[in-house]
Amino acid sequence: MTWTWTRTRTLALVLFVSIALNLFFAGIMVGRFDRWHGGPKGPGHGHSMTKMIEKSLGDSLTPELRERLTAHSKAMRETRQTSREKRDAIRDTLLQEPFDRAAYLQALESMNEVFDRMRTETHSFMIDIVEQMTPEQRRKLVKSLGRHRRDDD
C-alpha cells in the first residue's frame, strides 16, 4: 500500500495541528485567568475556617463567637507566616548546589511540624467554637460545609 499526500490528508493534518494549538493556548489562558482571579494557590487554599464559620452562621453569629473567631484568625496569622518561611527554606534547599539530602529532609520535617501545629490549633479552636454554638448554629455550619464537599457515594 502506498501513501500519497492528498489534499484531504493535508487539510486533516492542518486541522489537527490547529485544534491542538488552540487547545494548548486556551489551557494557558484559563490557567493564567484562574491564578489571577483567586484560583488554587497550593495546600490550604480556599477560605479560612473562621471565614467559613462567619459566612455560614450569618446573623446568628454572637459577639462572643465573633470575638473568638477574630482571636483565632490573629493567632493563625503568625503560624501562616511561619509556614511561608518554611516553604521558602524548602525552596532554597532544593536550589542549593550541591544538593544536600540531610538539609532537605530537615526542611521538610520543619514544614511538617508547622502543619502539625496548624492542625492542632485548628482542632482545638473548632472544639472550643462548636461547644459555644447552639444546635441551630451547628446545623447551619454542617449545611454550609456540606455545600463545599459532597459525600453522596
The three-class DSSP label of residue 37 is coil
Give the separation between CA 130 and CA 126, rounded to whole angstroms.
Answer: 6
Segment 17-66, tens digit of pLDDT: 999 988 888 888 877 766 555 554 444 444 577 777 877 777 777 788 88
Q: Cell numbers 490528508 correspond to what residue?
A: 9
pLDDT at 97: 92
Q: Cell numbers 464559620 correspond to what residue?
A: 53
The whole model's pTM is what? 0.52
- CA–CA–CA angle 119, 63, 46 (5° rounding): 35
pLDDT at 42: 46
Say whether the peptide bond before residue 43 is cis (omega within 30 degrees of 0).
no
Position with higher pLDDT, 22 vs 75: 22
pLDDT at 148: 54
Segment 93-138, tens digit of pLDDT: 999 999 899 999 999 999 899 888 888 888 888 888 888 888 888 8
